[in-house]
Chains A and B, each alone.
Chain A
Amino acid sequence: DTGVSQNPRHKITKRGQNVTFRCDPISEHNRLYWYRQTLGQGPEFLTYFQNEAQLEKSRLLSDRFSAERPKGSFSTLEIQRTEQGDSAMYLCASSLELSANEKLFFGSGTQLSVL
């Protein structure tokens, strides 16, 4: 499978617990993005990496959220002290940044439910 891979597909947790999601991008892609999507909304940008450098973070990314891409390959997104409002689909996307016309390809997402 040469697409973007995300694990787990589903995560159910209790409020206050920490969760971590993993994303493996398409192998030759140097950019990796995290988005969040709730029902009836479009994906909302959270953060992105170019290689191992985290270049931009959205205001949506509170201090309970942290993302890493330590070797410029896979990435993890951790949410500490989860809240019910964190329930959403967390989408990872990757791209090969060649010009302003980069295209993002999404993984299947991780559906988080906070009880």
Chain B
Amino acid sequence: QKEVEQNSGPLSVPEGAIASLNCTYSDRGSQSFFWYRQYSGKSPELIMSIYSNGDKEDGRFTAQLNKASQYVSLLIRDSQPSDSATYLCAVNPSTLTFGKGTMLLVSP
């Protein structure tokens, strides 16, 4: 059973819009949650971490966590073409477990 689920996309949004990326996880004991951005042919880059229920904002990025629903999301405000990448949700029940990622395409 897959432990971290994400829609593979692509999610297409116009420049300036809000992109909403979602993730569910299966292990209720998970304590740490991360979003990584991965450009094609490159390695994952950590962009957000969240550890408690609620919202955490960093610049144009907001991570949201709901442990009761086992749900994590990432909002990207004022999306830019340079945000076009695959966004990986990662959860840490013991070792960091990744979803397949959601491809985001931001059109000019």
Interface residue tally of chain B, by bracket?
A: 20 to 34
Interface string of B15-58 (1 = CB under 8 A from A): 00000000000000001101010000011111001010000000
Interface size on A, residues (CB 8 A): 21
Q: How far is the CA of A33 from the CA of B95 in the complex (A)?
A: 9
Contact A42 B4 (CB under 8 A): yes
Contacts of B12 in A (CB 8 A): none
Q: Does B88 contact A (CB under 8 A)?
A: yes
Q: Does B97 contact A (CB under 8 A)?
A: yes
Q: How far is the CA of A69 from the CA of B46 in the complex (A)?
A: 24
**Least CB separation from A46: chain B residue:** B95
Contact B43 A100 (CB under 8 A): no
Residues of B within 8 A of A (CB): 4, 8, 31-32, 34, 36, 42-46, 49, 51, 88, 90, 92, 94-101
Residues of A within 8 A of B (CB): 33, 40-45, 48, 56, 89, 91, 100-109
